[in-house]
Amino acid sequence: MTKQTLADLAVFGGPPAFNEILHVGRPNVGDRERLLARIGDMLDRRWLTNHGPFVHELETELAAFLGVRHVVAMCNGTVALEIAARALGLHGEVIVPAFTFVATAHALQWQEITPVFCDVDPHTHLLDPDQIEAMITPRTTGIVGVHLWGQACNVEALSEIAQRRGLRLIYDAAHAFGCSHGDRMIGNFGDAEVFSFHATKFFNTFEGGAVATNDDDLAQRIRLMQNFGFTGLDTVVYVGTNGKMSEVSAAMGLTGLESLDAFVASNRRNYDCYASALAGVPGLRMLRYDGQQRQNYQYVVLELDGAAAISRDDLVSVLHAENVRARRYFYPGVHRMEPYRSYFPHAGLLLPVTERLAQQVLVLPTGTAVSPQDIDRIAQLVAFSVANGAAISRALPDTRGAVA
Domain boundary among 258, 279, 307: 258
Q: What is the pLDDT of residues 195-233, one digit of tens each?
A: 999 999 999 999 999 999 999 999 999 999 999 999 988
| Residues in Cβ contact with 346 at an 8 Å cutoff, skipping those fewer than 6 apart | none
My answer on whether 294 and 273 are in the same domain is yes
Residues 234 and 167 in one domain: yes
- The verdict on 263 and 223 lying in the same domain is no
Domain count, the chain: 2
pLDDT at 171: 98
Q: Is the dihedral of CA 176, 179, 182, 187 positive or negative?
A: positive
Do 251 and 264 reside in the same domain of the chain? no
pTM: 0.95
Which residues lie closer than 8 Å to 229 by C-beta, 6 or more apart? 236, 237, 238, 239, 240
In this structure, which long-range contacts are made by residues 393-397, counting pairs with CB atoms below 8 Å and at least 24 apart in sequence? Answer: 393/310, 393/311, 393/314, 395/6, 395/12, 396/11, 396/314, 396/317
Q: What is the pLDDT of residue 400?
A: 46
How confident is the model at residue 306, as a pLDDT? 77
Range of the domain at 193: 32-258
Amino acid 402: pLDDT:
43
pLDDT < 70: residue spans in the chain:
1, 398-404
pLDDT at 17: 96
The answer to whether position 347 is within a domain reads no
Q: What is the CATH number of the domain that holds 291?
A: 3.90.1150.10
Domain co-membership, 50 together with 93:
yes
Q: Which of 213, 235, 258 is the last residue of a domain?
A: 258
Which alpha helices (DSSP H) does 8-138 contain, by range? 32-45, 53-66, 77-87, 103-109, 129-132
CB-based contact 186:215 (threshold 8 Å): no
Does the residue 181 lie in any domain? yes
Nearest alpha carbon to residue 27 among 264, 208, 200, 209: 200
Q: Do 253 and 265 fall into the same domain?
A: no
* Residues 167 and 305 both lie in one domain: no
Which pLDDT score is estimated for 78?
Answer: 98
